[in-house]
Structure 1
Amino acid sequence: MSLLERSPTSTRGGGSQPDLSKLSNMAADSLISTRKRKRECECSQDVKEIRSELTGMTSLLEQFIESNALIMSQMQANISDVKTQITEIKVSNEQTLCLLRDSSADVKSQINYIKSSTSGMEIEQNNIKTHVSQLENKISVGENKIKSLESELSNLKLASTAGSSSHAQSLMNEQLIREVQDRKEREKNILVVGVPEQTSSVAEERLSKDEAEIMCITGSVSNEITKPIKIIRIGKYNAGKNRRIKVCYDTPAPVKVLLRNRDKLPVNIKMFSDQTPSQQKYLQGVKDELIRRQNSETWIQNETQAKELQLPNYTHYYNYRTDKIGGGVSAFVHNNLNHSLSESNYLDGNNYLWIRLEKFALEVGLVYNPGHTNYKRFLETYDSQLQLRKRAIVFGDFNIDLLKKEKEIKQYKAVLKEAGFGLLNKISKKYCTRHSTTRKSIIDHVSSNLKNNNFHMAIINSSLSDHKQIYVELKKFKPIPKIQTKYEAIDYTKLHATAKEDKIDDLNDFTLLENKIKEYMQDSKTIKMKILNKPQKDWINKDILTGINQRNYIWTEHKKNPEDESLETEFKTKRDRTAKLIRDTKNSYYYKEFTKCINKPKHMWNLINKLVNNKGKESCAPPKLMVDSKLITNSCDICEVFNQYFSTIGPLLAEQIPMRFHENFNVALPHTTNASELSTLDPYSADEINKIIDHLDSNSSSGLDEINTKVIPSTALLQCGINRLKRVIGTGP
């Protein structure tokens, strides 16, 4: 080492001292001469080893740095995942807490309801006991009176039995004898209906023509019919009205022949036996009873009859035919239910009755379609009523047999499907609702649009009618709870009262005034509850709302940390996913809606108009117009007046402009000044400031100072601001 230090310094290649800055395998050997090799030290070898070690250390350091960078990136990714998971856990915890609060509130309300109902039942039970005791006393008193009356009646009967029984029996026997004699006489008569009334004014001529008509009719039935002994018209003669003809024979044989061969009578001619009044009354009663047993309608004929049909603790709702007997629908609803009449119509021969049950948010519909009305019009009316009901169950005698496979049945099912209703009937002969002697049918239907509900339905045989009874039970029902949320609001009454009591006229700085207003606002804040609006039921669903909330939450976090690129990337990803979910869900929903309207062009066009937001154009033409003291009411004349006015308004206005503006147009242009600052301030008054503040829009949101316009009208704050302006500007009243 000492030899190297004593060697002279030189930059040339022939020097004795090596240049260590250019040291290499080749360069070092070339600079060392043969004379110097003998005195070479071992430093070069050490330097080589040190360099190799440094190179290895450098590579190790580079590998270490790369591995650290990789580990750091993985740690950042893991940290972002952990943040996302923590955010999701927070959201789920908040939702769980909200559900727990809602469920606890429901449980409390149910407990209170049970307590109130129990107390009400106890009161009713005590009242019932009181009434029962009163009734027992009255019954005992009534029994004593009845016993006394029975004893008196028995005494009276013993006194009058002999005379009254013989008299009543004689009257009954006399009536029976008269009835038998009357029937015996009427066996020889027959009634003919449908023979046109004769137009002659002479009675004998009309009688002879009637006899000729009767002989012609009886001759067409049988040639063995003898000539009647008497022919008369029943009732008073009235032009334009065909009266019945009573034909009398000397024996009952011709009458029997005519009644047995009524199928041979001419068209529009009918024959009936001559019945006594008691026979007519009995047969009419049998006919009415048969008709009632063959139909399942209410047969309510008027309002008085409907009000007579009542049940204890029930309300009777009904809708009956106003133009004919038969048909109609009615329902009995228990008074414990909060119910009301939603709709009651009788249209085109069909009955519609809708009852709303408030507790279940449900509408119960009753429909009767006799089967012979306009089918297309019935479907349109029924469809419009179903579209208005969000939660409903419908019962009815539709006289549409679901066991058949006809075009009308498919149209009926399509109407139900389009309105979101489904049939609860099982389409099988085993579950028919009407079983006559000839066939089975399902003409009584039950349908509903309730989702996720279990129904129990049973068909019960009845001896009162050939229509079977239908029993429907809603096995599961839970109303959708109303979601409530808390929010902060300002109590403006408290704010104005506080501002009036506190004297803030001494504030000379607007910043202090602003801070004071914010302090009042903070002290006047209160916590309120509100019910969240239900989401729309068309294409907005729970997944979309959740995605929107998550997207908004990530955006809020990104605004707090704008330099965090991971949050920005996460927000963009969530934003794109939410937009795609909204687009796909909306397309799928409207595709299904258009599929439902394939056979319904009217509904399809309504859906198209809803999508493009088309609105019906309404005529806005005025009904009358006053022009030059002349009243014009004709629509064509009104249009002509408007055309004349707008076609000549331009030249008329141009003529009113002075000629100097026509010659030099630049004179008419306004002169503008480029004032960069406010030079003067006009004097103001407190009334002017009050007027400006009174006309502030209270619905506008707060600005950067976060002070709402509703806060400003406070009298104390307003006066403070006015006084401050006086001191700053130095002008004004």
Structure 2
Amino acid sequence: MFYNLPGYNFISNPRNVHRGGGVGLYVNNMLSYNVREDLTIMNEKVFESLFIDIQFNKKIITCGTIYRSPGQDKNSFDSFLKNLNNSMVKTKQLNADVYIIGDFNLNLLDSTNLQVNMFTDCMFENNFMPLINKPTRITDSSATVIDHIWTNVLHPVDTYILLDDISDHFPVMFCCPEKFDTRQVQPHRCYNRQNYTSFITQLILLDYDLITNKTDPNEAFDILLAHLQTSFEKAFPLSKSNGKTGKNEWYDKELNDLNKAKQTAYKKYLKKKTTARKLQYHQMRNQYYRMVNSKKKTYYQKLFGKHRNNAKQTWKTINSLIGRNKTTNYMLNLKVDGKLITNQIDIADHFNKYFSTVAEKLVSQLDKPKTSYQMYLGPTSKSSIFLFPTCPGEIKIIIEKNTK
């Protein structure tokens, strides 16, 4: 499960067979972007990628992430290199600024490694240069540069390696030299897979008889164009973000101070790896995560208790915890026996009729039984159940007791 970042859209290219792996991107919801399907590849444990085009200050910036699993054999690496070269050739033809970031599991410091040399040759041949040249993964016995940032941008780009213990890899980042004025955010359209699917669905459900039955081609074209524009606006609506990202209300000053102390202990340990410093860092880390879990548990216990009689707010809290974004897809049209139904009440009636007659239709397809079901029943007992008479007042009292 991915981590929900308020103010960001999460897009991913996950694996379908093997556990782990996959790639994803968080995109600021003030930015308009398109997923590059031609560069987005899922060859599990070999080449996993996700690329997007970001519309940024009247120009296009292509950003991508690539993951290569460690320990590949020769055939897998050859396949990785082939996918990489094809992707790099396509990006070379874009005539745009391209940034590629990812865990390649190829140590750029190991100049004697044949696979590393073949990889870097491929990148250099396509006009890409590395921005990270210091270790991004440090253990007690090794220091490797396996987390890369590559770009075809020639002007200087600020890059950073963050000394953070969020994982066994140091986070790497770069600052794009382009300046984005958040005070003048223009409305934009989001061209993601979900919206594309919605657009295609609306086109499929379109009643084309209204067009083909017209004898005047100009009139038919105007009707088709109007339907296309309506479907486009519904599938790709203009949106404008206020840029507010929100915050975790359970994260207070006490946690912030403890996190800083943990980070300080971690940096001291990296500078001088002694047993005492390692022990101190582990103690600070464990204390911090225990406090995080405790504060989150207390906060959400109070929140669920506050909304225990409000199902809507309860589910809103649950969805925020699991990072489920609110998406509403309305079915505007329904085809039944070749006839297009647009009235919402008629659509609901057809759904009710379909699902309420499923059992009846299935039973009609079965062979008629030779014996009655009553043969398998035991003797009846007239005193097996007794129903007490009741009244609306008694029902009201029971309901009020259960809602307190």
TM-score by length of 2: 0.39
Greater helix share, 1 or 2? 1
TM-score by length of 1: 0.22
Greater relative contact order, per chain length (Cα 8 Å cut-off, separation 6+): 2
Larger Rg: 1
